[in-house]
Homo-oligomer: A and B are copies of this chain.
Amino acid sequence: MNDNRQHYKMIDVGDKAITRRVAVASGRIVMNAETFAMVRDGTLPKGDPLRLAEVAGVLAAKKTPEIIPLCHPLGLDQVRVAFRLDAADSAVTAFCQASSSARTGVEMEALAGVNGALLTIWDLAKQVQPDLAIEGIRLLLKTGGKSGRYEHPDGIGELPEGFGS
């Protein structure tokens, strides 16, 4: 039987140029006011969630090719994770910036970092509030490669200090 089954196409990046690639993603976790105060003040029973989430986000970004099947394993120049606290909405926004000198972009690394950070906040806050929600995960910014600079059409807002450069 002449059957050559291949369904998934990991892109061959061998012919692409090594350029500096940067991507910034963000997303937020929404909670009630009591939970928000404990997240902000670091008084959740299991500990201060934001520092833990920062570390978890960095580690998750590095694990991207293990989690997302068609992502390329590649070296990273840097991963940064930071948070913005929105008291009015009782929400924490996580930002992750990934950078690489590579043949392919690092959007998925930035997105995986945001997800790892938000899930870690969830893990610490779930004892005091089970009906948390993660909303608005999006790619804000992407530079490098053939397609050049991309900014989210809704705007990228104000990025944390040192991000986006």
Contact B45 A9, beta carbon cutoff 8 Å: yes
A62 to B67, CA, bound (A): 10
Chain B residues lying within 8 Å of A161, measured Cβ to Cβ, are 4, 6
A24 at interface, CB cutoff 8 A: no
Interface residues in chain A, defined as those with a beta carbon under 8 Å from any beta carbon in chain B: 1-14, 20, 27, 45-48, 50-52, 54-56, 58-60, 62-63, 65-87, 99-103, 107-108, 111-112, 115-116, 119-120, 122-124, 126, 130-139, 142, 150, 152-154, 160-162
List 19 A-B residue pairs with CB atoms under 8 Å apart, sorted by A's residue number. Answer: A3-B85, A6-B54, A8-B55, A8-B58, A12-B78, A47-B70, A56-B69, A68-B119, A70-B120, A71-B123, A72-B77, A75-B102, A107-B126, A108-B122, A130-B152, A131-B153, A131-B154, A133-B137, A134-B134
